A = this chain, B = another copy of it.
Amino acid sequence: MKKYNILIAIMLSAIQGMTQEGARQSFHFPDVNGYQVLKADLHTHSVFSDGMVWPSLRVEEAWREGLDIIAITEHIEYRPNKADVNGDHNRSFAIAKEQADKAGILVIPGSEITRKMPPGHFNALFITDANKLEVPDWKEAFREARRQGAFIFWNHPGWKAQQPDSARWMPEHQMLFDSGYMEGIEIANYEEWYPSALRWALNRNLTLLGNSDIHGAIYQQYEVHKGKHRPITLIFAKNSTLTEIHEALKQRRTAVLFDGMVIGREEWLTPMIKSTIEVNPYPSASTESRITMVLENKSDLDVMLYPTPQSIAKGVIYPVAIPARSKVLLSLRLKDDEMKAMPSHTVQMTVKDWYTKENTTLTMDLTFKR
């Protein structure tokens, strides 16, 4: 019987092997300050904890959506499928890695230390043996992760299942922060983002992360075929290697993409909008009393600029939509001789949905000149 099964298996091995990978869509951002902009989802699950897909499907989803990096971060303490699915805590990473190597993207080994609040859930990335994290005392789990050189961040700090009243920074979190264990924090997870977590992160200089925490299937949960995306951590990195990714996370070189929003430190968002929206003179539409510029979106993300009181005073009164990969002409009327005599005119717009603080959107200066 065994032998017969093996024979059939060989006979049928073509079934899976023949399948081509699906198409990888373009999901590009121009370099920022000389760094590549890598797209990462650092919090995902598979059937090996409480997820609903095989680890290699996580890689396929990421490949197709245009991501560069994922982490598979199974719950150490919660494995409801265990009666059906074997394998220790390192198994799902091994399966995913095989597929990732083939596709040419990166998978980071990780685990989710999963406890009730406090301290809640934390991801430990770049670990070397997930099995050693399965210990009764959660503090010991953090110590072990750190011994393995992990980068650790607090997951969904505003998750209402654990903090129904409001997101609170508790003594345990302060302790994890003071001891250097907590280096980052999710400001976006699944379908929510947490303004208070952004505030905490900016005050304490934590790395900003945004991840899907996906349990089901990405293309079912998010309308990727319609241009939407899961929550994504943008990593500003010199190259796409595990060492450099780890370094970039430690150096706080990240921003977060969430539901069309870009959330990050002003020092990164300011150069990022400049590399995203290229602004150039457009002489054919310019006249003596009008300067026209062409704004070109060099990325695969839609951008919208909003007028400010300063721009309205100069006559730029409507929102300017610049969809991904498109161009827009924007004109400034020169109302009088004084204006015509000036060599250039700077107009301040705000970038819709690009947040540098809880209630602050990014400002972009457009300089009109011939």
Considering only residues 282-304 of chain A, those with a C-beta below 8 Å from chain B are 282, 284-285, 292
Contact A20 B284 (CB under 8 A): no
Binds B, one of A29-37, A53-61, A174-182, A241-249: A53-61
Across-interface contacts of A161 in B (CB, < 8 A) = 14-15, 18, 317
Task: Answer yes or no: A87 CB below 8 A from chain B CBs.
Answer: yes
Task: Answer yes or no: A17 CB below 8 A from chain B CBs.
Answer: yes
> Which of B50, B104, B219, B331 is close to A282, meaning CB atoms less than 8 Å apart?
B104
Task: Answer yes or no: A191 CB below 8 A from chain B CBs.
Answer: yes
Distance in angstroms from A356 CB to nearest chain B CB is: 23
A57 with B50: in contact, given A24-B326, A219-B217, A219-B220 (CB under 8 Å)? no
Across-interface contacts of A282 in B (CB, < 8 A) = 104
A64 with B220: in contact, given A1-B136, A23-B321, A317-B160 (CB under 8 Å)? yes
A48's closest neighbor in chain B, by CB? Answer: B84
A-B contact pairs, 28 of them (CB 8 A): A1-B136, A5-B77, A12-B78, A14-B161, A16-B80, A17-B333, A18-B161, A18-B317, A19-B318, A20-B320, A24-B327, A26-B325, A26-B326, A51-B54, A52-B57, A52-B60, A57-B216, A60-B216, A60-B220, A61-B217, A84-B91, A84-B95, A101-B284, A102-B285, A160-B307, A164-B317, A191-B318, A217-B217
Q: Chain A interface (Cβ within 8 Å of chain B)?
A: 1, 4-5, 8-9, 11-12, 14-26, 47, 50-54, 56-57, 60-61, 64, 75, 77-78, 80-81, 83-87, 91, 95, 101-104, 114-116, 136, 159-161, 164-165, 191, 215-221, 223, 225-226, 282, 284-285, 292, 307, 309, 312-313, 315, 317-323, 325-331, 333
